[in-house]
Amino acid sequence: MALENPFYTPEVQGAYELHSLGRFELEEGGVIPDLQLAVATYGELNEAKDNAILIPTWFSGTHQTWELVYIGPGRALDPEKYFIVVVNQIGNGLSTSPHNTDGEIAMSKFPDVRIGDDVRAQEQLLREVFGIERLALVVGGSMGAQQTWEWAVRFPDKVLRAAPIAGTAQNTPHDFLFTQTLLDAITSDPGWNGGEYADHADVVAGLARHADIWAVLGLSTEFWKTEFWRGIELPDVTWDTFEEFRDRFIRAVFTAMDPNALLVMGWKWQRGDVARNTGGDLAAALGRVTAKVFVMPHDEDMFFPPRDCAAEQALTPNSELRVLHTVAGHFGLFGFEESYLAEVDSHLTELLATPV
Amino acid sequence: MALENPFYTPEVQGAYELHSLGRFELEEGGVIPDLQLAVATYGELNEAKDNAILIPTWFSGTHQTWELVYIGPGRALDPEKYFIVVVNQIGNGLSTSPHNTDGEIAMSKFPDVRIGDDVRAQEQLLREVFGIERLALVVGGSMGAQQTWEWAVRFPDKVLRAAPIAGTAQNTPHDFLFTQTLLDAITSDPGWNGGEYADHADVVAGLARHADIWAVLGLSTEFWKTEFWRGIELPDVTWDTFEEFRDRFIRAVFTAMDPNALLVMGWKWQRGDVARNTGGDLAAALGRVTAKVFVMPHDEDMFFPPRDCAAEQALTPNSELRVLHTVAGHFGLFGFEESYLAEVDSHLTELLATPV
């Protein structure tokens, strides 16, 4: 029986549809008996079916931030021009996930999922449900960037343009170790109980420690130094100190989530690597990319630093490095700054206007 | 009764002497009935007593790294020229600490200690035990830099030169949050038992998580990316993967330590702030410094970044910014690189040669 968690509902996340892909075999050998992808679309697919944009989601994220922050008339991601498909990644709490599925893969029995599984599932979804064979653009942030890279390497003929934001094609050792501290914060909570908790709130202490590590790595030293948080506003909650901001914003968000969902996504994140398509040869993998690519790291990102992204960009034909500026570090993805959003829109508009 | 821990012995740490300062009242209101400072000295104090160098220790560190890595004939810190006094900070496991003291302040009953307490104790030690009234140089890394700054602000007449390495005069919010994750990794271990464990090994899981967070913030993304650890050698242990290096080096070091000692030092670190001497006015505090100061951040430091140190340097009269280069991030302090040590020696030699 699935666990109830109000965070993973249309009331909180905004509307989405579930599309069944049926039995789905995973790269690691597991099987999802009936894979459901939670999908949100914006705009209309044109007759030529050449105006589709795919957006895969990041760790702990859903389609919601994209809808509220990035998609809109007059924006680069304009639903009046494009058919925009945001696919929630497997295990994110909306698509098939440990807490929302029954039987043989529920909770601790959920199988290991890889970035490549998400990309294959998305390809199947686009083809079978929407009849889309080519994408005008794939764009995603963080784990969404991992999926974007995987798309460009695995299906080069289907991806005309790609914009990996604040993420890498091949995960780094530092990033692996960082993610492990996030996961261990959860699994070290006795309330986690090997993944068989009765309610996500049983793991609140572990989820809070998980959030606290995000507070350190997810933002930037300068975000905290400049007290940027004073300008961030949410309904019905305020903060006067940096500890209050951590507690009322960062902890509040992560303690609402499902622990096993975070663990599934984290395991996947740690192992993102397009070189799995080419026997471990990263240059060969990136050399397969035919899309026009804008590689867009965040200048203050503490775990996907620009130099790591620049090294991958240098291996990618027909690519450019477009560093984004945000004092919020990796979490700049949330779009706290109009200047950041203007940069993203400018680059994506230029990319979408580039003939390919 | 004190807990046995072989890590905190001369056999492991190298020789030191204990000096009693008697009853010591702390800024937070607590009292150490008989404060013992563990002190190691190198060289001879001259008749004029003007060749003394003080080195306070960093978080989790002792005098040992300074002895093995920084002090030696022909080096900047030359015991043939200078009388070098390394004082282990209060609570570090060698000086009076929760696990090595009895009675009213043992273990969980250990009082809160501040950077200012260490500096006052060191001043008393130097004056009463060695008759030293002025220091040719105070130099320290990380929490040692915090103490170095505190010396220069609190006792400007006694400090001729100062070299805070990889540390700040006023701790930042980011640094506070980072340190908190380190401490919470320990206190969330049920084996910690409110500070009343029977053996530090009861807290091994928490100490390991503490170490794992250090692995992420203490080094640098580039340290891991370049596999710098392949060139690090220790007796009787090897590693072939980055996970093995984390386990056999970083975890091995931190799981040998006393949990309460780390908590005492961490609490102190979080609250380092020279502006306590001037009613919260950092510029006024740093404006009091009369020493010639070389501010020496590490270029890749993830929690004492150069810009934070540069901002303090800009407020300090008669100071210069000397950025040190090390791929090992904050842990560059361990002196893995000859090039780093050459930079440190060059700057300290120049500083010591500067007339004041």
pLDDT at A273 over 70: yes
CA distances (Å), origin B95, targets A327, B16, B265, B278: 41, 10, 12, 29
Distance CA B340, CA A84 (A): 51
Give the pLDDT confidence of B91-132 residue by residue, as tens digits.
Answer: 999 999 999 998 899 999 999 999 999 999 999 999 999 999
Could you give all domains of chain B from N- to C-terminal order, each with its CATH number? 6-171+271-353 (3.40.50.1820), 176-264 (1.10.1740.110)
Give the pLDDT confidence of B299-339 residue by residue, as tens digits.
Answer: 999 999 999 999 999 999 999 999 999 999 999 999 999 99
Select from B262, B227, B226 the least CA-distant residue to B245: B227
β-pair partners for A298 = A324
CA distances (Å), origin A318, targets A149, A308, A314, A354, B23: 14, 18, 10, 11, 71
Query: Whole-angstrom distance between the N-terminal and C-terminal Cα of chain A?
Result: 48
CA distances (Å), origin A60, targets A111, A173, B105, B277, B291: 18, 21, 44, 44, 50
β-pair partners for B170 = B273
Residue B294, SS3 per DSSP:
strand
Average confidence (pLDDT) over A232-246: 95
Chain A residues whose CB is inside 8 A of the B305 CB are 221
- Confidence band, pLDDT 50/70/90 cuts, at residue B261: very high
Give the pLDDT confidence of B19-67 residue by residue, as tens digits.
Answer: 999 999 999 999 999 999 999 999 999 999 999 999 999 999 999 999 9
> Pick the catalytic residue: A60, A95, A97, A142?
A142
Give the pLDDT confidence of A110-130 residue by residue, as tens digits.
Answer: 999 999 999 999 999 999 999
Select from A145, A123, A77 the least CA-distant residue to A347: A77
Residue A307, SS3 per DSSP:
helix
Give the torsion sign (CA, B274, B279, B280, B282).
negative
Select from A179, A118, A185 the least CA-distant residue to A148: A118
pLDDT at B1 over 70: no
CA distances (Å), origin B337, targets B68, B231, B329, B333: 14, 10, 11, 10
- Show the tokens assigned to A287: 């050399």
Distance CA A46, CA A216 (A): 44
A308 CB within 8 Å of a chain B CB: yes
The verdict on a CB contact (< 8 Å) between B213 and A213 is: yes
Residue B222 near residue A175, CB atoms below 8 Å: no
Q: Judge whether B78 counts as a catalytic residue.
A: no
Distance CA B119, CA B127 (A): 12
Distance CA B233, CA B106 (A): 37
The verdict on a CB contact (< 8 Å) between A224 and B178 is: no
Q: Taking CB atoms and an 8 Å cut-off, how many pairs form between chains A and B?
A: 89
Looking at every residue in chain B, the average pLDDT score rounds to 97
B4 CB within 8 Å of a chain A CB: no
Sort strands B319-321 and B52-56 into parallel, antiparallel or unpaired.
Answer: unpaired
For residue A105, what pLDDT is reported? 97
B301 CB within 8 Å of a chain A CB: no
For residue A1, what pLDDT is reported? 63
- CA–CA min distance A281, chain B (Å): 16
Nearest CA in chain A to B205: A188
- Confidence band, pLDDT 50/70/90 cuts, at residue B2: confident
Find where tokens 């904050």 sit.
Answer: B330
- Show the tokens assigned to B193: 């038992």
| Rg of chain A, C-alpha, whole Å | 19
Give the pLDDT confidence of A305-316 residue by residue, as tens digits.
Answer: 999 999 999 999
For residue A2, what pLDDT is reported? 86
- Residue A79's Cβ-count burial label (10 Å; 0-12, 13-18, 19+) is middle
Residue A239: what residue type?
W
Select from B200, B178, B180 the least CA-distant residue to B191: B200
Residues whose CB is less than 8 angstroms from the CB of residue B339 and which lie 6 or more positions away in sequence, other chains included: B325
For residue B51, what pLDDT is reported? 98
Q: Classify residue B280 as left (phi > 0), alpha (psi -120 to 50) or beta.
A: left
Q: What is the largest CA-CA distance in chain B?
A: 55
Interface test with A, best of B216, B303, B308, B312 (most A CBs within 10 A): B216
Residue A225 near residue B282, CB atoms below 8 Å: no
| Rg of chain B, C-alpha, whole Å | 19
For residue A350, what pLDDT is reported? 98
Give the pLDDT confidence of B29-40 residue by residue, as tens digits.
Answer: 999 999 999 999
**What percent of chain B has a predicted confidence (pLDDT) above 70?**
100
Q: Judge whether A240 counts as a catalytic residue.
A: no
Select from A168, A133, A123 the least CA-distant residue to A274: A168
CA distances (Å), origin A240, targets A227, A233, A283, A318: 10, 12, 48, 47
DSSP conformation letters of A218-247:
TS-HHHHHTTGGGG--BTTB--SSHHHHII
B326 CB within 8 Å of a chain A CB: no
Nearest to A184 among B175, B180, B209 (CB): B209
Nearest CA in chain A to B180: A212
pLDDT at B236 over 80: yes
